[in-house]
Amino acid sequence: MDVQTCLTKLKLVGVLDFATVDEEGAPQVRNISAIHFEGTDLYFLTARGKYFASQLRADGRVQILGYTKYKETIRLSGRVETLTEAEQKKWRDVLYREQPYLENVYPGETKNIDEIYVLRAYTISYFCLSTRPITRAYFSVGGAPEIRRGYRIGDDCIHCGTCQSVCPQGAITEGEPFVIDRSHCLECGNCMEHCPAGAIERY
């Protein structure tokens, strides 16, 4: 798996979930199909007066989620950037060309109410449940900081093997200490709950 393959899959999914946080910190999610992929940049559109636009302007963080028929979850997380007037016009035209239904929604000059945002720096979390073991991968795009999350085994490990026996995906290998392979880890926490030495932590 790689960045371009993840983006191609999202493009094929077409309609993606876009999550933001509102002024009270509550999650807000909606489906968006007016998306243009340019290299690793994602341009998308919403009307300036929408709550979605207010949340993007106020906070900027967005999480974009797509799910494929192969049981793959692809999640992009980052902070949007706003564009100049000239860029707005350029990418609005591109989006309207690619998504003709938009002309039906905002005909003629009314399309000027649309605002274009771009996501350039983001992380990708790829998670596939149709392989055995499952596949997980993380990527950083445009200088976004790497995703640091998962479970790890520390020096308190007494090499008893309990975690290995309870891992549903066989993601743990023997060693001193034992080691979790992040690329096959469900992040379910079963190993941590069963470790007699308290040697496993979520980071």
Decide if 126 contacts 106 (C-beta within 8 A): no
Q: Give least dist CB 51 to ligand SF4, A.
A: 37
**Contact set for ligand SF4, span 172-191 (CB under 6 A):** 172, 177-178, 180, 185-191
- Nearest CB to ligand SF4, comparing residues 28 and 173: 173
Count of C-beta atoms within a 10 Å radius of residue 101: 9
CA-based torsion, 64, 10, 81, 136: positive or negative: positive
Interface pick for ligand SF4 out of 94, 162, 179, 183 (rule CB under 6 A): 162
Pick from 34, 14, 128, 138: nearest CA to 77: 138
- Nearest CB to ligand SF4, comparing residues 14 and 175: 175
Rounded Cα–Cα distance for residues 34 and 106 (Å): 13
What are the tokens at 9?
């899959």
Count of C-beta atoms within a 10 Å radius of residue 40: 18
- Nearest CB to ligand SF4, comparing residues 19 and 166: 166
Regarding 56 and contact with ligand SF4 (CB under 6 A), the answer is no
Given the rule CB under 6 A, which residues bind ligand SF4?
A: 151, 153, 157-163, 167-169, 171-172, 177-178, 180, 185-191, 195, 197, 199-200
